[in-house]
Structure 1
Amino acid sequence: MPPDLNLNLSPLNLNSPGLLPFLKHARTHILPTFRNGIVTQSPIYVLGNQSADLDSIISAILYSYFFSRSGDSGKRGYVPLVNLPDVPSGPELRRLRPEFACALELSVSSSSTTLSMQNNKPGKEKDGEDGIVKLLREHIITVSDLREGLSPSPDVDQEEMKTKKLELDCVMVDWNNLPHKSRPDGKEEGKGSIDGLSDLATFTVNGCIDHRPDEGFVPPLERLPQGNPRVIISGPGSCTSLIVREIRERGLWPSSTSSVTEGHGQQQLNDEAGEEGKWEVQLAKLALASILIDTTNLTAEGKVTDVDRDAVSFLTERISSFSAGGAGEWGRTAYFEQIQYAKAHSLDWLTVDEIMGRDYKDWTESSPSSGEKRVVGIASVVRPLKWIVDKARNKDDDSTNIGGDELKLFLDKLMKFALERRLDVVSVMTAFGSEDGDGEGQFSRELLVWGLKDAYNDTLANFAETSKEQLGLQKWNDFPIEGSHEYTGGLYIWQQGNVSQSRKQVAPLLRQAFTN
């Protein structure tokens, strides 16, 4: 390998004041260096899970900003990396993650009504480079962007690249298990890679904050670099809530401005805080976005914990403290509703394949008897299955199977999605308002589980039986029978009566079916 592809650990200063200056510095001071074919600095990447949802993206940004300012990383700094291997930052990121684009713009704007509901929709820009697209392009780094910079020039020996990958460091947020292990047996803790970079780089996990069950991949705290967190707590509705708690406990985000003495008035606090107050409001609003969306504005039964409530209380107080008119100048509910609207309508602009991949996670399980690997993938969608089925037959969705049954058109696309990801079992979970699937009316869930090999029929039948009571599984009225073998393997589609059971609860049940 040519010497210019070796890592040179030169200093990287990301201690820029303010959210946007920090993000822009991270973007402009790293990618151009990579694009010149030379890696001259090695930051610590903060990486959310492969669904790249609002909670993952904002958790990564918040962690990177405050830990870079803490000095714990030395001079390397932390860089938030959006886990999208095929989506460069810019118009495509806005189209695929409009709720994040909306949250970012609302957070950095001086007004809480920057965007009208209608203008939150992708595709409204006339020239493809409106304000939010430019904001994303200049401040956000995706895995696709990083790959472009890391990819070697044509004169580099490709075979040598495969045997000598770049060694990068990362902190995991909103997940705790990398999909591509550095060893085939998966027994080396804390080393692996991700989709889009598995052929170029190996990540060493330096820390983790997550709100789902511990999968045993992240090394114990004593084996992580000193001072780095290992906080894996199942329960809180949002990982961002845990990030906020960790930042506060480390004294990185105090509850008041230390330079203001007791007895000074609100106006004096605002004057003395200056620009720092502006950045605090931006960071607090951005953090609130993911917490409010994940907890439905703190109303989601079974998902809201004291960690979430404390984070919202703290963030709301920070916004009030640095707003000239106090809390009356900013409405939390209106803010939540704008981002929720952007999220609810985000699927309108996607293909079926993009809809399935938008909030998708998979797990690899080993049979205790044979050791055979089995991959289980679950896609979460905020629209009913009937809506997705209708989407599958739309002409603008590249449907080539015009004369077939509507359900078959969808299942053909779902089969293609599963085969591309080498899944053994694919599942689709929907969550929506029952009146129109648009977030209005009674909340409903549906569950589709499809074993793509006949060998798994008994396993899935057992899952159906053992999970029926906990999940409240009922016949799906739009499907003529509860199970079908018309396609390869068993297909089940249910109404899910127990709507409190999200993917957090369903995934362990489905995975356990393949390990018992």
Structure 2
Amino acid sequence: MTLLQFLRQARQLHRQFLSGALSESPIYVIGNPSADLDSIVSAIIYSFCANNRLPLKAPRPHIPLLNLPNVLAGPELYRLRPEFATALWLSTNFPALRAEEQFENAQDSAGNLLGSHLVTVADFAQNLKEQNIFKQLLAEATLVDWNSLPIPSDKDKGSGSLPGLPGVTFRAVGCIDHHVDEKFMSSTESLPENQPLIIQPGPGSCASLVTRDLQNRTLMGDGQAISAEMVQVAKLALSAVLIDTSNLTAEGKVTDVDREAVKTLQSQIAGQLEAAKVPQDKWNLQAFYEGVLNAKQNSLDLLNLDEVLDRDYKDWTETAQSSGKTVKMGFCSSVKPIRWVVQKAGTPEKFLDAVRSFAATAEKELDVVVVMTAFTAADGSFCRELFVCVVRENESALEGVKAFVEQTTSRLRLVEWSPLDGENISELGDVCSALNGSDTPFWRRLWIQKNAAGSRKQVAPLLRTAVSKL
């Protein structure tokens, strides 16, 4: 079965489950709410390899569920995640194993294909309405690239629901993740036999951990003996690992798990090409990486500012120990520099207005907004910037942010901001002055972050801890 055949079948099985045609729940494989390349790819490759093969004693269908509550699969998904569409295209069309699976990497062609092959949270919610399903639905899930459902059940540990899909309660029956343990999952003994429960902070890509687990179970081929269909899966897995580790060059992010994943996947692809007597020069890892990277770097050009902030977004809520007050923090990641984001808004003041408006939306209601940028400067160096803003009156939020700054300035090597991408920004006015201020309730700071290893995966727990320990 090709990768696209599997995805189409999984979407059809999802509809059958909702119609009552299946005797038991399939297992939905759900990535985190940023729905970035790593999350989407991890969900797809795990679903493909575990489908009707896990759990061991009662194998069931696995369905990747893209964690996008406001985006239907289709042209809009292509617009918002072109790097995923590019990775899927490069993985399945060079060569296409079936003539009908050829598609163009363009919004109409790829968008239509995504709409007939994938399921998002928005699709799931729409399907429930279409089929007039109003009773609470129970389903099972494996979590990848996160380890906690955001709306936990009051009754059952390891169960919960997703924003945008309150009518479905998911029971987590497995997890593979590289973030800090949120203590949501049930114990290994409570899960079906031999289901994965891997929460291992460190690796740059969750897809590396997924690949290792699948390889250890021989669900992703046995050594170098993999099929042409599995080569498609291996290429898709590589796209996430390479992007999240900057082609294994990201300082402080790359671990042996990532290196071994790339080595194994590359070896399997090369082995299949050799077995099929295909010249090795038909596959170029660097060109593959650059194709996906270019799509990601150019993806923000298609979006408005609100979509830029929301594109790679996660939030957490913490309670200050002393006051008992809650603080909700939203983290926005961007592959473009702050200068570019401000220019997108028009002026620094309009950028700040957009941040406040973004934070105040009903589905977010944030106390703190953090914008983290990571990009390559004109001189080829990898750069990070950090913008932190308290957006509404909340003493615990302000004190928590100040504690975070005091505790982490040295660790993150935060220094006064100046343009890093070599471009003249004089037409934007004084960005540094506008984006630094202590006026309450709109305290804000902008820095260059010289600790290049400090991604959101490292920075978010630091701010959350600073707030919770007040």
Cα distance in 2 for residues equivalent to 1:483 and 1:224? 49
Give the whole-Å Cα distance in 2 for the aligned partners of 1:322 and 1:444. Answer: 38
Deviation at 1:147, TM superposition (A): 1.0
Partners of 2:352 and 2:365 lie apart in 1 by 16
2:265 — aligned with what? 315
Once the two structures are superposed, the pairs formed by residues 66-465 of structure 1 within 5 Å of their partners are 66-72=49-55, 74=58, 76-111=60-95, 125=107, 129-130=108-109, 132-151=110-129, 161=134, 164-183=135-154, 188-198=156-166, 200-256=167-223, 277-323=227-273, 324-325=277-278, 327-393=280-346, 406-420=347-361, 421-435=364-378, 441-452=380-391, 453-455=393-395, 456-465=397-406
Give the Cα–Cα distance (whole angstroms) in 1 for the partners of residues 435 and 112 of structure 2: 48
Of 411, 414, 433 in structure 2, the residue corresponding to residue 480 of structure 1 is 433
* Separation in 2, partners of 1:374, 1:91: 36
**CA distance in 2 between partners of 1:145 and 1:31 (Å):** 10
CA positional deviation for 1:326? 5.0
Query: Match for 1:442: what amino acid?
Result: S
The CA distance in 2 between the partners of 1:40 and 1:253, in whole Å, is 28
Q: In structure 2, do the counterparts of structure 1 residues 106 and 423 end up closer, same or farther at CA, with 3 Å as the change threshold?
A: same
How many angstroms apart in 1 are the aligned matches of 2:184 and 2:130? 30
Find the counterpart in structure 2 of residue 27 from structure 1.
11
**Is the CA contact 1:37–1:153 (under 8 Å) kept in the aligned structure 2?**
no
* Structure 1 SS opposite 2:432: coil
- Alpha-carbon separation, structure 1, partners of 2:440 and 2:307: 23
CA deviation map 1:172-200 (0-9, x unaligned): 000011111222xxx852111112102x1
Check whether the contact 1:280–1:318 (CA below 8 A) recurs between aligned residues: no
**Distance in 2 of aligned mates of 1:92 and 1:40:** 33
Gaps of 5+ in 1: 1-16, 113-118, 259-275, 394-405
Cα drift, residue 284 of structure 1? 0.9
SS of 1:172 mapped into structure 2: strand
2:428 aligns with: none
User: Deviation at 1:384?
Assistant: 0.9
Deviation of 1:257 after TM superposition, in Å, equals 6.7
SS in 1 for 2:307: helix
- 1: CA distance, partners of 2:54 / 2:143: 19
Shift of 1:69: 4.0
TM-score, scaled relative to structure 2:
0.89
CA distance in structure 2 between the partners assigned to 1:203 and 1:33 by the alignment: 14
**In the TM superposition, what is the alpha-carbon distance from 1:372 to its structure 2 partner?**
2.5
Find the aligned partners of 1:80 and 1:19 in 2 and give their Cα distance: 12
CA deviation map 1:461-495 (0-9, x unaligned): 22212211011111223312774144623111111
Among 19, 38, 42, which residue is 1:59 paired with? 42
Amino acid at match of 1:352: L
Contact 1:374–1:424 (8 Å) recurs in 2: yes
For residues 166 and 280 of structure 1, what CA distance do their matches in structure 2 show?
Answer: 33
1:191-223 alpha-carbon deviations (Å, 9 max, x no partner): 11112102x111111110001111111112111
TM-score by length of 1: 0.81
Aligned residue type for 2:146: W
* Moved >4 Å (runs of 4+): 36-41
| Matched AA of 1:243 | V
Is the partner of 1:479 in helix, strand or coil?
helix
Contact kept, 8 Å, 1:476 with 1:494, in 2: the verdict is yes
For 1:96 and 1:203, the matched residues in 2 are separated by 26
Contact 1:85 / 1:195 at 8 angstroms: preserved in 2?
yes
Q: Deviations over 1:133-177 (max 9, x none)?
A: 2321221111111111122667x7xxxx4xx52111111000011
Offset at residue 328 of structure 1 (A): 2.8
Aligned residue number for residue 463 of structure 2: 510
Instruction: Please give the secondary structure, in 1, of the residue aligned with 2:286.
Output: helix
Are residues 1:498 and 2:448 paired? Answer: no
Q: 1:257 & 1:297 partners in 2: Cα distance?
A: 22
Between the aligned partners of 1:385 and 1:246, the Cα distance in structure 2 is: 38
Please tell me whether the aligned partners of residues 400 and 463 of structure 2 are also in contact (alpha carbons under 8 angstroms): no
CA contact (8 A) 1:449 1:491 kept: yes
Q: Give the AA of the match of 2:401.
A: L
Q: How far apart are residue 76 of structure 1 and its match? A: 3.1
When residues 467 and 307 of structure 1 are mapped into structure 2, their CA distance, relative to the original with a 3 A threshold, is same
For the residue of structure 1 that corresponds to 2:464, the secondary structure is helix
Which amino acid in structure 2 is aligned with residue 367 of structure 1?
Answer: A
Equivalent-residue separation in structure 2 for 1:211 and 1:356 (angstroms): 23
- State the match for 1:263 in structure 2: none
Cα 1:256–1:496, aligned 2, differ >3 Å: closer, same or farther?
Answer: closer
Question: Do the aligned partners of 1:255 and 1:314 also contact (CA within 8 Å) in 2?
Answer: no
Query: Quick check: 1:319–1:327 contact (8 Å CA) kept in 2?
Result: no
Distance in 2 between the 1:284 and 1:473 partners? 38
Secondary structure of the equivalent of 1:417? Answer: helix
Please report the RMSD computed on the Cα atoms of aligned residues, expressed in angstroms: 2.2
Q: Secondary structure at the match of 1:370?
A: coil
